Amino acid sequence: MAKILFVLTGADHWTLADGTRHPTGFWGEEVVAPYRVFTEAGHDVVVATPGGVLPTLDPASLAPEVNGGQEGADAVAAALQAMDPLRHPVKLEQIDVAGYAAVFYPGGHGPMEDLAVNEDSGRVLTEALASGRPLGLVCHGPAALLATRGADGTSPFAGLRLTGFTNAEEAQAGFADKAPWLLQDRLVELGTDFREAEPWSPHVVSHRNLFTGQNPSSSAPLAVEMGKHLG
């Protein structure tokens, strides 16, 4: 049926405010849950990363406590192992948005490191928004929107309703005091209409063809909502 583009971070660390490198990458559930939703609906998924590098899994995303126990963590690990597109990423620099029915950005802290300042990602996002095709970002994935700011300082996403990982969630995760900047603050500075729900609760916001999820538990509902708008 449709071909869906997953844009993943190529980073394996997040530089904290004190200059130390925190190991990270993409968040497992935020890839596994949407991948399952899209592929079970008959769609194909293509993974792209900056430079076509193999994406790194955030090891914290396989902890039992964030997966409902060891069985849930093992299920996510097994799903990732079986996901062939993860092992054959294409170069983000070569992506033509016209070839895809939808574009999706998972989170993890990795996008805070690379996609937030990646011009090729900024182009993909801008073209996806203009195309009218479903564009989804979840958790820290919306950090990539920061790269859509043009030479005049404005972004095509300014004024749009969206959500993402909140300051409250970053604080509860133990990183608010260590982060060089907070995602919610930067998205507000970008001019977006940031909508916040209770920490860790599933929360999806849609505006035009933009679909965003607040946290990992929002990833499956986000994919389901995007799927309703696939041609």
Grouped pLDDT means (10 residues each) for the chain, 231 residues: 96 98 98 98 97 98 96 97 97 98 98 98 98 98 97 96 98 98 98 98 98 98 97 66
Q: Kindly state the greatest CA–CA separation across the chain.
A: 50
pLDDT at 231: 66
What single DSSP character describes residue 21?
E
3-state helix, strand, coil in the chain (%, to 5): 40, 20, 40
pLDDT at 1: 80
Q: Which residue stretches of the chain are H helix?
A: 28-40, 70-81, 110-113, 119-131, 167-172, 183-189, 219-227
Question: Are the C-beta atoms of residues 29 and 63 closer than 8 Å to each other?
Answer: no
> How much is the pTM?
0.97
